Structure 1
Amino acid sequence: MDHFNFHDEKAESRLYVGNLDLKITEEALIKMFFPFGKIVSEDYLWHTRGPKRGEPRGYAFIQFSSKEEAIRAKEKMYGRMACGRPLVVRLASEKYPIDGAVNHSKTSEGSRSLLSGGSGGQTSRSAKIAAIKNKLKAIDEGHSTSKKQKQSDEHCISLEKPHQR
């Protein structure tokens, strides 16, 4: 089935990025990963209900245009320090628990909805690309964050290499 093969190829070029400090914005995340290849889509996850509604969940998914780009980003970014925390970066298709902390019964249901795009509506590929381009343009123009926030983000995401043991 062509659709099945496309899904496998898509999953292999999609990264899970975890252990994100809550100060890391969606724009900063894109800025950290776009040097490694063409980003086709990104899903920065937020709490949708409860007392943390509207706050970041601390992880995201980034879809690259190829498996090679995703692997390069994974190799370069895994363990890099961002805001004092080591990034956890892996292929979304790899079967590891998210940050080793998922202990609820709806794990497989939640993972399925995240891997399929996370939203109920269908968005065309060109619309997703346009949205990413707009986000990158906003980053370049400085419209999305104040100068003070930008300086904080840039200091916070200096992306130090992990400490060698």
Structure 2
Amino acid sequence: MDKDNNITFDEKSESRLYVGNLDLKITEAALIKMFSPFGKIVFEDFLWHTRGPKRGSPRGYAFVQFSTKEEAKRAKEKMHGKLACGRPLVVRLAREKYLMEMANKSGKPSGGIESSRSGPLQMKRSAKIAAIKNKLKAMEEEDHDTKRQKQKQG
């Protein structure tokens, strides 16, 4: 159990929403205002670019944590596809978003994801570790490519 608010990890992952396709004009305050009618927001993470030419500008997605999974489910149902500044919002359980990205990156339909009739998609621990290693490798390759391009220019 989490000492702060007595919510277990599983409950947290079920009540945390990924909110994507945010127009860059949408602020943290606007995001909270949009989602607060569906329940108590216990945490919100609005992501910003931290370096590079876009430093300080919004990344176009955020995470909203509700106090219960029922509130999160209701917010997801009501807000997914709703227009905000002319763009349809993409709202998913944060866990779904992560699992979908891992499946898409692996190039395989399952991507280490098991589906069960009794519950939501679950990823094997070994598949999670492999996905993290692949992500790190891709990031290192991007970094090397960027350095090579700079060397060619300089």
What TM-score do you get using the length of structure 1 for normalisation? 0.57
- Deviation per residue, 1:84-137 (Å, 9 max, x gap): 110000001112229x89xx8349x9xxxxxxxxxxxxxxxxxxxxxxxxxxxx
Matched, 1:105 2:135: yes
From 45, 48, 54, the counterpart of 2:47 = 45
Give the partner amino acid of 2:18. Answer: Y
What 5-or-longer segments of structure 1 have no aligned partner?
110-165
Q: 1:106 to 1:61 in 2, by over 3 A?
A: farther
Task: Point out 4+ residue stretches in structure 1 off by more than 3 angstroms.
Answer: none
Matched, 1:96 2:100: yes
Q: Distance in 2 between matches of 1:41 and 1:106?
A: 27
- Structure with more contact order per residue of length (Cα contacts < 8 Å, sep ≥ 6): 1
- Deviation per residue, 1:23-49 (Å, 9 max, x gap): 001100000000000000100000001
CA RMSD of aligned residues (A): 2.5
Residue 8 of structure 1 and its aligned partner are, at CA, apart by 1.1
Q: What residue in structure 2 maps to residue 24 of structure 1?
A: 26
Q: Distance in 1 between matches of 2:86 and 2:74?
A: 22
Which protein is richer in strand relative to its size? 2
Q: Distance in 2 between matches of 1:46 and 1:62?
A: 15
Q: What's the secondary structure of 2:62's corresponding residue?
A: strand
Residue 78 of structure 1 and its aligned partner are, at CA, apart by 0.2
What 5-or-longer segments of structure 2 have no aligned partner?
106-133, 140-154
Q: What's the secondary structure of 2:63's corresponding residue?
A: strand
What TM-score do you get using the length of structure 2 for normalisation? 0.61
Matched, 1:87 2:89: yes
Q: Distance in 1 between matches of 2:83 and 2:101?
A: 21
Q: Distance in 2 between matches of 1:79 and 1:31?
A: 17
Matched, 1:57 2:71: no
Give the greater-gyration-radius structure (CA). Answer: 2
